[in-house]
A and B are shown apart, each in its own frame.
Chain A
Amino acid sequence: MVAPVVLVIGVIIGYPLVRGVFLSLTDANEANVERNIGVNHLPATYKFTGLDNYRAVLSDSVFWDRLGWTVLWTVGCVSLTFLIGLALANMLNRTLRGRTFYRLALILPWAIPAFISVFTWRMLYNEKSGILNKLLAGGGIDAVPWLNDPTWAKLSVIAVNVWLGVPFMLVALLGGLQSIPGELYEAAEMDGAGPWQRFRNITVPGLRAVSSTVILLSTIWTFNMFPVIFLLTRGGPGDATEILVTYAYRLSFIDSPRNFSESAAWGVLILVLLSVVAVVYRRALRKQGEVW
C-alpha cells in the first residue's frame, strides 16, 4: 500500500525537484540541452558549473529589486486581504437582513476562475476606454494610466489580487467566528466589556488558529501568484510589476535564448526563501502555544 504511493510521489515531485536543483548548478540553456531537431537527436552538452548561477544571481541588483517588490506585494496583498476579510466577516456574522445575499455576492469572485477575472479587470483598467476611466471622466478626473505607469500598475495588480483573495479569507474567518461560543460574548457584555474589548479579547484569540493558517497559506500563494501579474501586465511596464516567480518564468520561456539554469537557480532561491518564512512562522506560532 505504501510503496506505490511513495514511488508515485517520488516520481512526480521528487524527480523534477532534484532535477531542478541539478539544473541550477549547470549552464543549461536553450542551445545546449538535449533536443530533437527534425529527426536528429542532439545530446545535451551543458556542463556542471557549481554555484556560479547563484553567485551571478545574488550579486545582480535585478534579483534584489524583484525581491523587494515581491515582499512589498506579498505583505501588501496579504495584510489588505486579511483586514478586509476580517472586517467583512465580522459584519456578516451579525444578524441582519439580506445576510445570505451579501454572503453570496461577496463570495462570487472566488467562484470564477482567476484568469477570467484577470482578463475582466484588464478590460476595466483599459486606459483609453475602460469603464473605470470613463467613470472618472464623468466625475471630471483625468484618465489614470492603470497599467502603464509603474506606480499605478503596482497598485492595480495589488487591487486585483486583493479582490481575488478576499472571498477565501472571508469564508475561512466567518467559519472561525461561528465556532466561537456566543456565551463568551454574553458573559463579556454582562461584565461591561465594550465592542472593541470584546473584539480584542474574545474574537482575536478565538480566531487565532484559523487566521494563522490562512495567513500562512495566503502568504505562500501570493508570493507565488503567477496569473495575476502575468496576465494583467506581463510584468510591465518595464519590469515594474515582475515578481520573483514571473521573472524566473520570463528567463526560461519568454527571453531568448531561454536560460534554463538561471531560471532554475531563481526557483531554488524562491523555495529556500519560502521555507525559511514557513519555518520562522511556525516557530513563532509554537512559542505562542499553538499546535500546528
Chain B
Amino acid sequence: MTPTSTNPTSTTRITGTAETSTTGTSTSRTSTPRKRNERSRPASLGLHAALAVAAVVAVFPPLWLLVTSFKPKNDAFSTSIVTHFTLANYTHVLADTEFLTWFKNSVIVVGLTTVLGVFIAATTGYAVSRFRFPGMRPLMWLLLITQMFPVAVLIVPLYNLLASLGLLNQPAGLVITYLTIAVPFCAWMMKGYFDTIPVEIDESGRVDGLNPFGTFWRLVLPLARPGLAVTGFYTFVTAWAEVAYASAFMTGEENLTLAGGLQTFVNQYTNDWGSMTAAAVIIAVPAALVFAFAQRHLVAGLTAGTTKG
C-alpha cells in the first residue's frame, strides 16, 4: 500500500533533478558503449569481491565449528583443517554425557510448546480477525506490546509462580513460559493470515449449519495451513534456542534442556570444547534443516504480522 502512495512523488522528484545529473552518468556511458544493466569489469569484480567476503564471514564460524568437532579433543584449537579425523567427540557426547537426556527434554518442551502454541495462536488470531468485541483494540495492543516484554519483566513472577505450583524443573513449567513468548506474536501473525481468507467462506459454513468452532476447524484452518506452518516454525525455533528461562528454571543435570546443557561443557570450571562442538553440531543441524524449508515464508510472516494490524 505504501509504495504506491509514495512512488508518484519520488518519480516526479527524479524528473525534476534529471538535468543536473546527466553530466555525471554520460561520461561513464560514452567511454565504454555497453548494454543497459551491464556492469563494467571492475564493478563486477568489486561486487563479487564484496559478496565473497561477506559470505566467508557468514559461513566461517559455523564451518569452523563443524571442522573442530571432527578433531581430537586436544587439537580443538589447532588452526589446521582436520589432520586426524575422528568421531570421538560425537561418541563421547552421545555415550558419556547427559546429552541425550537434554535432547529428550528439549524435544518434549519444544514439541508441546509448538502444538499448544499454534493452536492457541490460531484460535486467538481467528477470533481477533473475525469478531468485533469490546476490548479488541486493547487486546491487539497487548499482543503487540508483549513483543517488547523483556525477559526481566516476566521472569521473576513466572519463577515465583512456577515455584509455588511446584513446576520448577518440570517440562510443563517451561512449556507455560514459552507459550507466553510465542503465543502473542504468533496470534498477531495468524490474524494477518486469517484476514486474507474471505469472510464468505465462514458465512457459507454457517449456512451449512456449522457452529463457529466447526467453521473455524473444518473450513478456515485448512486454508490457513501456510500460516500455521510459519507460526509452528517460529514457535519451534524460539523454544529450541531459548536460553534465559531455561537457565533460570531448570537446574540439575537431568533436567536441563539443550541450551542449559551446552553451558555445562564450557564454563568457568571446565573447557571441553570437543564435546561442545560435537553437541552444537547435533543441535544445529536439525534446526538448520527445518529453517531451510521455512525461511522463504518466514519474513513474509514476520513483516505481515506487524504491518497489517
Q: Using CB atoms and an 8 Å cutoff, list the residues of chain A in contact with chain B.
A: 1-2, 4-6, 8-9, 12-17, 19-20, 23, 33-35, 84, 87-88, 91-92, 94-96, 98, 101-102, 105-117, 119-124, 126, 129-131, 134-135, 163, 166-168, 171-172, 175, 179-180, 184, 187-189, 191-194, 197-198, 201-202, 205-206, 208-210, 213-214, 216-217, 220, 223-224, 226-227, 230-231, 244-245, 248-249, 252-253, 260, 263-264, 266-268, 270-271, 274-275, 278, 289-292
Contact = CB atoms under 8 A, between A and B. Distances in A.
Contacts of A34: 160, 163-164
B156 A260 contact: yes
B243 A202 contact: no
Given A130-B77, A205-B7, A226 B287 contact: no
Interface of B is mostly: helix
B11 A188 contact: yes
Contacts, number: 326
A26 B58 CA distance: 47
A55 B14 CA distance: 54
Contact of A208 (B2, B145, B248): B2
B3 A180 contact: yes
Contacts of A253: 155, 159, 247-248
B180 to A, nearest CB: 5
Interface stretch (B91-99, B119-127, B193-201, B221-229): B119-127
A23 B243 CA distance: 23
Nearest to B307: A213
B115 interface: no
B179 A12 contact: yes
Interface in B1-60: 1-3, 5-7, 9-11, 13-15, 17-19, 21-22, 24-26, 36-37, 39, 44, 47-48, 50-52, 54-55, 57-59
Contacts of A278: 145, 148
Given A172-B303, A214-B303, A227-B243, A20 B64 contact: no
Interface in B238-274: 240-241, 243-244, 247-248, 259, 262-263, 266, 273
A188 B50 CA distance: 26
B184 A192 contact: no
B18 A217 contact: no
A111 B61 contact: no
- Chain B CB within 10 Å, residue with most, of A135, A270, A275: A270
Contacts of B124: 5, 8-9
Contacts of A102: 51-52, 54-55
A249 B11 contact: no
B289 to A, nearest CB: 8
B169 to A, nearest CB: 13
